[in-house]
Chains A and B, each alone.
Chain A
Amino acid sequence: MCGENMLIGLAGVLAATAPLIFAVVGETITERAGVINLSLNGLILLSAMGSFAVAVTTDSLVLGFLAGAGIGAAVALVVAFCSITLRQSQVAVGFVLALLCRDLSYFLGNPFMNRPGPVVPSFRLPHALSIDTVTVLSLAAIVLAWVWFFKTRPGLVLRGLGEQPAAAYVRGVPVNRLRYLYTMLGGAVVGLAGPAYSLSVKAGWRGTISGLDGIGWIALAIVIFGGWNPVRAALGAYLFGILQWLGVALQPALPGVPSQVLQVAPFPVMILTLLFVSIGNAEWVARTISRLPLRGRRFLTRALRSLEARPPASLGVPFEG
């Protein structure tokens, strides 16, 4: 019985984390091309509101999701234009957009506040489990992104693009055109996080109390934690989902602990994990390890090296071809 509860709980985590998955996979795609889309937080809110509005007006879930992707791509286009064509700071542009889109979503979303809208249905599976299309799509996004990055020719070019655009350029790669493309593609995938909330996980639009504010910043951190690898980033997102779920699930078992503590706990735990994962980059760690006996040293070095993650070398740097 307890095991079954556990399973249902984890299936719930899988579904509840789907929007975050879209966000981290989309941002990973963008950053792999060497562009940081820092507007994620506002982008997700705006696409949540916009897709809900479209779905309510047209009564079509599909159009709602398409609207979400469209809004994501549009915001990403602004980032791309400012950073690639105008060569402005990606940090400044992204930051301002994050604030702008957030307030825009609250303002434009007023007419749709608390209106009933369509919700993505879920399918029954054996053992009282259920799954919905959004969850399946989020899983597919992880796999597709991974295959694209590491198994296909265009994915190889994409990795090169973010690493050394000049080297890609001398090989005949249209650097800035591809950067536009991937920034918008990544933005569109991030944009799916919006409807994944407003049409499924947290159905409806409730303005400032939608509880979506902040999720974009978490996603940005998880992309780093994920070492710009979609599978690792997804694991990070699921870890965050599990921690949040534990915060709720453990509450009855731990009556002595204030509920706020459990709600906030995922955040410091995430930070600690981040530290642990990147600790292998520090020189003092390498030095400490080199004093250990040989067998343990090999294992530790290998483990830390496999966790080591470096950003695409040209991340945030405009390229003049």
Chain B
Amino acid sequence: MNVELRNIQKTFGPVRANDDISLTIPAGTIYGILGENGAGKSTLLKILSGYLRADSGALLLDGRPAVIRSPADGIRHGIGMLHQDPLDFPPMEAVDDFMVGRSGKFFPDRKRACAELGKLAGDFDFSVDPEARVDSLTVGERQQLEIVRLLAIGVRVLILDEPTTGISAGQKQKLFQALRQLSGQGMTIVFVTHKLRDVEELCGQVAVFRQGRLIGETARPFDEGALVRMMFDREFERPHRSRAALGETVLEVRDLSVEDRRLSVSGANLELKRGEIVGLAGMDGSGQELLLRACAGLIRPVGGRVCVSGRNLTRRPYREFLDAGVAYLPAARMEAGLVRGLTVTEHCVLAAGRNNFSIDWTGAERQALKRISDFDIRARPSSPVESLSGGNQQRVLLSLLKEDLRLILLEHPTRGLDIESSIYIWDQLKKRCQNGAGVLFMSSDIDELLQYSDRVVVFFSGRMSAPLDAAGLRAETIGQRIGGVGFE
């Protein structure tokens, strides 16, 4: 189906999310929508799918005017969207999730739905167990379930919003394969992303957005420099690897065993020196976060030792980890890192950790302004943190870290961030390393692991590889090890 958007306008309060956007998406292509966070990509596609309503503008499907006022209208016109945060039902079984919203008999035939789900998933080499609960699936599997569900209800335009965030390299390859297969069958595919690499690998055509405007469209072959210029209005140098001088050991993990309900990691050994960056690779839920949280003092190990700067902190309270100069930045920035509803200034007050009864608001605001300018945060001191973009939230978190840290632990430091923010975050982290901190981070982005780590440790279902030197390490090697090669 050919999709034509004409003069779409959408404002949220004072923000122009979409400013007079006209776009034609031909059938049977994989059409990329590229732009940094907040460029208005998602807004436009949410309008197309009916999730949001445009202030003005028109939509033509196959040349005929169409009105889409709700997702129900979108489905009727054959437009389906895979949202960035999976919109599914976590406690349900996959097959039940698959059936919600589909018409059919009053008493649904679960067996047939299971078979249908299994068959469709099989067509694309997806691995979705129909009987598994949705919350036990990985992000990638939930995405596969949702794609299969959209195909089953007969969508002819498939919109994917940042689908490569949070999924493993193998799942990404499967996803791309499936999308190529679908576009070959005549499906119109709209692929929203902020990752240049994805566009270069997959898309036939791309439209670049910046600050709510459509900057330009180009087709294959892409000129990476030109795309970056369109996205940011300037160029970035690829950050070159720089090594800080290594100092004494800051973190020592010996024969550590940690476990939660799902997984146990045992016999983990790791040493981290000051100035060193170690990356933890692996599929989500392979044990990296258990190790990180045990090092942060957030979960008690079952056995073994965690020493920070030579002090044995095993099973000591979290407070002592903080005092020893350990900081931990969780992946769930809004849920576990920042406090919803509090402003940047209020976060500064909290982070100061003073016990004064009254608060010096003028001082706190001065502090907030200083951090905002130091860390190039796009916000006002009075902005509630949930109104900031992901990149700015991460900057706030970094800005709140204490000065004299020894060990910084991060989960997915740049997940969901655009290139500019990612580079900035890593510049800050590297600066910390120069000043003698050690950095231990987990990431599902292999490029990030190779780019910034000194050494990489791969996790596979609770087991941990020996540290691999990142210099000279190839992406394929890590990819294979993440998939379990070498763990037999």
Whether a CB of chain A sits under 8 angstroms from the CB of B78 is no
**A151 and B107 contact, Cβ closer than 8 Å, known pairs A157-B100, A171-B75:** yes
A170 touches B51 (CB 8 A): yes
Contacts of B186 in A (CB 8 A): none
Give Cα A156–Cα B93 distance, bound, in whole angstroms: 11
Contacts of B97 in A (CB 8 A): 160
Contacts of B88 in A (CB 8 A): 164, 167
The 8 Å CB contact of A171, one of B101, B259, B261, is B101
Secondary structure call for the A interface: helix
A172 touches B72 (CB 8 A): yes
The 8 Å CB contact of B49, one of A151, A156, A170, is A170
A290 touches B89 (CB 8 A): no
Contacts of B72 in A (CB 8 A): 172-174
B70 touches A167 (CB 8 A): no
Whether a CB of chain A sits under 8 angstroms from the CB of B91 is yes
A290 touches B92 (CB 8 A): no
Contacts of A157 in B (CB 8 A): 100-101
Contacts of B58 in A (CB 8 A): none
Kindly identify, within residues 258 to 285 of chain B, every residue whose CB is under 8 Å from any CB belonging to chain A. Answer: 259, 261
The 8 Å CB contact of B90, one of A152, A286, A313, is A313
Whether a CB of chain B sits under 8 angstroms from the CB of A163 is yes
A156 touches B90 (CB 8 A): no
A159 touches B107 (CB 8 A): no
Nearest A residue to B75, CB-CB: A172
**A170 and B90 contact, Cβ closer than 8 Å, known pairs A152-B107, A156-B99, A156-B100:** no
Give Cα A51–Cα B40 distance, bound, in whole angstroms: 57
Contacts of B99 in A (CB 8 A): 153, 156
Contacts of A321 in B (CB 8 A): 70
Contacts of A160 in B (CB 8 A): 89, 92, 97, 100-101
Nearest B residue to A291, CB-CB: B302
Contacts of A173 in B (CB 8 A): 72, 100-101
Whether a CB of chain A sits under 8 angstroms from the CB of B96 is yes
Nearest A residue to B97, CB-CB: A160
B117 CB to closest chain A CB (Å) equals: 14
Contacts of B100 in A (CB 8 A): 156-157, 160, 167-168, 171, 173
Per-position 1/0 for B59-99, Cβ under 8 A of A: 00000000000111001100001010001111110001101
Kindly identify, within residues 99 to 151 of chain A, every residue whose CB is under 8 Å from any CB belonging to chain B. Answer: 151
Nearest B residue to A167, CB-CB: B87
**A171 and B89 contact, Cβ closer than 8 Å, known pairs A153-B99, A156-B99, A286-B261:** no
B83 touches A170 (CB 8 A): yes
Q: B residues engaging A (CB < 8 A)? A: 49, 51, 70-72, 75-76, 81, 83, 87-92, 96-97, 99-101, 104-108, 259, 261
Q: A residues engaging B (CB < 8 A)? A: 151-154, 156-157, 159-160, 163-164, 166-174, 286, 290, 310, 313, 321
27 A–B contacts from the bound complex (CB under 8 Å): A151-B107, A152-B106, A153-B106, A156-B99, A157-B100, A159-B89, A160-B89, A160-B97, A160-B100, A163-B90, A163-B91, A164-B87, A164-B88, A164-B89, A164-B90, A167-B87, A167-B100, A170-B49, A170-B51, A170-B81, A171-B100, A171-B101, A172-B72, A173-B72, A286-B261, A290-B259, A321-B70
